[in-house]
Amino acid sequence: KAGVTQTPRYLIKTRGQQVTLSCSPISGHRSVSWYQQTPGQGLQFLFEYFSETQRNKGNFPGRFSGRQFSNSRSEMNVSTLELGDSALYLCASSNSAIQETQYFGPGTRLLVL
């Protein structure tokens, strides 16, 4: 099976803009989780979607949002970008609603200028 894929891989934006990142899970996986990775804060959970429903949410402001489509592909959106949003955004997919192994995608590296 193909692994988790994310697009785009790299992105440069300016403050105030918005951005949409995409994640395609492993075929058959219905859960997609999003994480932000920065040198200072490490890996932090953003939210998780299962069957098009957001089930869990981390401690991020409302500028961070997401959605999941019927084919399990997921998008996350960040509005009104701030310099501190510069990070590697990783998604991970799992084939279960309960805790199962999460497989990570390669990430989207976002730079906010």
Residues that bind other proteins (CB under 8 A): 31, 33, 35, 42-45, 48, 50, 55-56, 58-59, 90, 94, 96-107
Q: Which is nearer to other proteins, 58 or 75 (CB)?
A: 58
The least distance separating other proteins from the CB of residue 85, rounded to whole angstroms, comes to: 19
Task: Choose among 90, 111, 83, 7: nearest CA to 45.
Answer: 90
Cα–Cα dist 108/89, whole Å: 5
The residue among 17 and 54 lying less far from other proteins, judged by its C-beta, is: 54
Nearer to other proteins, 4 or 112 (CB): 4
Q: Which is nearer to other proteins, 19 or 34 (CB)?
A: 34
* φ/ψ of residue 83, rounded to 5: -55, -35
Q: How far apart are CA 72 and CA 1, in angstroms?
A: 15
77 CB-near residues (< 8 Å, 6+ apart)? 18, 19, 20, 21, 64, 65, 66
Smallest distance, other proteins to C-beta of residue 71, A? 18
- Shortest CB 56 distance to other proteins, Å: 4
The minimum distance between CB 31 and other proteins, in angstroms, equals 5
**Helix/strand/coil for 64:** strand
